[in-house]
Amino acid sequence: MTWLRAGFGALAMAIALGTASAASDALSGTPIWLDRLLPALLCTAIAVLLIRPWRRRRELGLVGGWRPFARGVAVTGGSATVLLGAGTAAGWIDWGPFDLGGVLLFILTNAVIAVLLEAFPEELTLRGHTYSALRDGHRPWISAVGTTFLFLLVPGAASVIQALLSGLIGVSAPSPGLAPPGEDPIGYLILLTFFSFTLVAARTSTGSLYASIATHLTFLTVNRLTLLGNDRDSGWSAELTAPDAILLIPGYLLLTAIIYRVTGSRRESRREAAPASSAA
């Protein structure tokens, strides 16, 4: 039953994302803000309706408010700055012109869509419900591995749901696959693995899902603002000029996870020391 409950979180996210993607297909040709905002709202609404009735806020990790969120932004953004800065110093990255107005507009619009379509529903369903379900009966490392495995199944399952729904409403959709069109499936799944373990570390080290949401959002923002800047008209862009430069992405995720684990261990040590001090 534990794994069935955990699997429901992944299924809920696949349904939410697949339905949102089919809605985006149906809205193709409408104003760009409409075909992005409405599917994102739909994705969050479906995820909440499928998960929230079965879990209390504390079980999902929806505690702590802005403090763990701010910590998630600082840890992830700081790690990205260190690694991308090192890559720049090594001559691995060339940066394009910086347009402050374009960057600020992109950060604002991307944040709204990314939170509604990806960061909040994915964290609610997977690092919220799925991880909590597995922790009810398993050790933390098994729960982290299980959550990551189920997370890797979501893109493929969502693409199947998208194809089925798009076919029912008579609109075209990409063929189902393990990765988005144009992505190398192996590289994509490896990156998702690093990403998932980092997100689990964010939740477990802070005790709050808001840290995971912030980490998720910051990761998407950094990559879309810089490495995918030309494709997304973000006001800034970066070009990787060395083959090894692509390793900077999992590299800063790894650094983020390490920081979370180290600070989380210190947090637990202080908690254990506090009762001992009181008893003395």
Q: How does pLDDT run across 36-57, given as a tens digit for each residue?
A: 899 999 999 999 999 999 889 9
This prediction's pTM: 0.92
Contact 255, 264 (CB under 8 A): no
220/203 Cα distance (integer angstroms): 17
Q: How does pLDDT run across 121-147, given as a tens digit for each residue?
A: 999 999 999 999 999 889 999 999 999
Query: Angle formed by the axes of helices 248-279 and 209-222, to 10°?
Result: 160
3 or 181: which leads in pLDDT: 3
Q: CB neighbours of 14 closer than 8 A, spacing ≥ 6?
A: 153, 154, 157, 158, 161
Average pLDDT of the segment spanning 83-95 = 94
What CA–CA distances, in Å, run from 97 to 94, 239, 261?
10, 12, 36
Q: How does pLDDT run across 194-239, given as a tens digit for each residue?
A: 999 999 999 999 999 999 999 999 999 999 998 888 878 888 999 9
Tokens 């799925």 belong to 130
